[in-house]
Amino acid sequence: MTWILTALIASYFLGSMPTAYLLTHFFLKKDLRTIGSGNIGATNAFRTGHKWIGIVTFLGDIGKSILAISLTLWIFDNSPLQAIMALASLLLVLVGHIFPIWLKLKGGKGVAPFLGGSFVLFPVITLGCLAIWGLIFASSRISSLSSLGALCFSPLLLWFFKPDIVFSSPFFYQKLGIFFLCCGLILLKHTSNIRRLFRKEELSFSPESHDQKPLSEKKPKY
């Protein structure tokens, strides 16, 4: 029980590290929550006008998920709990990323951490999702639409490839449930994006087309 709690707590706190917020705060002396969409994820980090901030944020958000899950896999090496704990670790990383205690539970949308964790747990499915993301993004230039499209296809890819970490016993239904919880969290976080997509008001992924000033000089949304 001690190791289970250790792995889950560590996963949450690693996930809650607000990479983009910290980079923007320390290097640009700005609050990312007042720029672009106001989100603290990688896509909005590119809208600071400094591409390296977006790149490092993307890699950092992927990396913290890889680190958390790799740590969990190591802790539960040769244990029958290894697979379900690895998936639980991915879920807690997402919870930490989306609801960080440091920013009053207002975090990112979870795409990059999900990508990093998925690459460790089921790399073939991740590559398939990346291909779908790329196809949608190439035609739309809308990051959220691309992410949502790839996310919707991920259960189909999971069922088609049937990775052992999910489909091997024991705990098959629990592991499947955790996977869908992860997808559901990301989908829930994209609710506002979905509304804007239907209204054709969603921001495209092109920093030059959006002024880099804070949105109406807004204060951070809490």
* pLDDT attached to residue 202: 85
* pLDDT attached to residue 38: 85
Residue 55 has pLDDT above 70, yes or no: yes
* pLDDT attached to residue 206: 60
Q: What is the DSSP string of the chain?
A: -HHHHHHHHHHHHHHT--HHHHHIIIII---GGGBTTS--SHHHHHTTS-HHHHHHHHHHHHHHHHHHHHHHHHHTTT-TTHHHHHHHHHHHHHHHHHS-GGGTT----SHHHHHHHHHHH-HHHHHHHHHHHHHHHHHH--HHHHHHHHHHHHHHHHHHH--HHHHSSSSHHHHHHHHHHHHHHHHHHTHHHHHHHHTT-PPPS-GGGS--SBGGGPPPP-
- Average confidence (pLDDT) over 11-20: 95
Model confidence over 128-186: pLDDT tens digits? 999 999 999 999 989 899 999 999 999 999 999 999 999 987 899 999 999 999 999 99
Residue 207 has pLDDT above 70, yes or no: no
* pLDDT attached to residue 205: 67
Q: What pTM does this model have?
A: 0.88
